[in-house]
Amino acid sequence: MSRGWTWSSWLSTAAAGYGVGVGMCVGFDLDMTLIDPRPGMIAAMGQLAEETGYRLDGEAFAANLGPPLDHVLREFGTPEDRIPELIARFRAIYPDVVIPRTVALPGATAALQAVRAVGGSTLVVTGKYAPNAALHVNSLAFAVDELVGDLWSTQKASALTEHGAKIYVGDHTGDIRGALAAGALAVGVETGPCSRAELLAEGADVVLGSLAEFPALLESAPAMLADQ
């Protein structure tokens, strides 16, 4: 815990101040937090490479999910004037290539349901193009109340603040920066490209091995269940 808090004491305070059980909002990242889209990402980037002739490394892309697609394409050396065109094409092929190959990560469904079970609401804030993010949520029948896309790192703070999220869960150091910028409890999860040490160094208050641990944390806070 980087701010001298304990999970249960923080939740008890939140329950008193924010009416847990009556509208407490918990935010989640999408890629490698709730879902594993890596096989589809490799395939989609490979198709884009084949169509354009550019050297686009799908394996490297999928192994480091998090940063926006324009950042990734620049790192691959894509000419700046072609980036908007490639982003549009990637988004177009995404539904048929990535959605069917994507699975929920362990504990994702239960984590979302756990928030609902105590009367809270769930928010997904992701760097992904929002319409494609919504396809994932619908395909996997996730219990998500609100979704905001196209936000990365500290940009996520605007959506978290707007929706009153007091907890944000993510796998990337960018997610931790976003949570802290919003004044939310920053919960890291080790299912993405960033290690426990990296997440803690960025300022995560809690780091979980996977979302399978998330419901137990909620259950450990009686104050959260008081208004159920």
List the helix and strand counts (H, then E) for the chain: 12, 8
pLDDT score at 218: 75
Classify residue 1: in a domain, yes or no.
no
Nearest CA to 90 out of 131, 148, 146, 60 is that of 131
**Long-range CB contact pairs, 53-59, < 8 A, 24+:** 54/78, 54/82, 54/86
Residue with tokens 């620049």: 74
Q: Low-confidence residues of the chain, pLDDT below 70?
A: 1-23, 220-228
Helix, strand, coil share (%) of the chain residues, nearest 5 = 55, 15, 35
Which pTM was predicted? 0.88
Report d(CA 181, CA 220) in Å as an integer. Answer: 26
Mark whether 78 and 140 lie in a shared domain.
no
Q: Tell me the torsion sign for CA atoms 224, 226, 227, 228.
A: positive
And the tokens for 89?
Answer: 């094409």
- Residue 36: strand pairing partners: 103
Report d(CA 215, CA 107) in Å as an integer. Answer: 8
User: What range does the domain containing 84 cover?
Assistant: 38-101
Torsions phi, psi of 146, nearest 5? -140, 150
Mark whether 139 and 215 lie in a shared domain.
yes
Classify residue 211: in a domain, yes or no.
yes
In the listed set 101, 124, 148, which residue is the last one of a domain according to the structure? 101
pLDDT score at 10: 45
pLDDT score at 118: 87
Q: Encode pLDDT of 75-84 as tens digits.
A: 999 999 999 9
Give the chain's domain count. Answer: 2
Report d(CA 137, CA 153) in Å as an integer. Answer: 21
Mark whether 191 and 88 lie in a shared domain.
no
Torsions phi, psi of 121, nearest 5? -120, 155
Mark whether 44 and 19 lie in a shared domain.
no
Mark whether 45 and 156 lie in a shared domain.
no
Mark whether 167 and 76 lie in a shared domain.
no
| Helix, strand or coil, per DSSP, at residue 23 | coil
And the tokens for 95?
Answer: 């539904």
pLDDT score at 8: 45
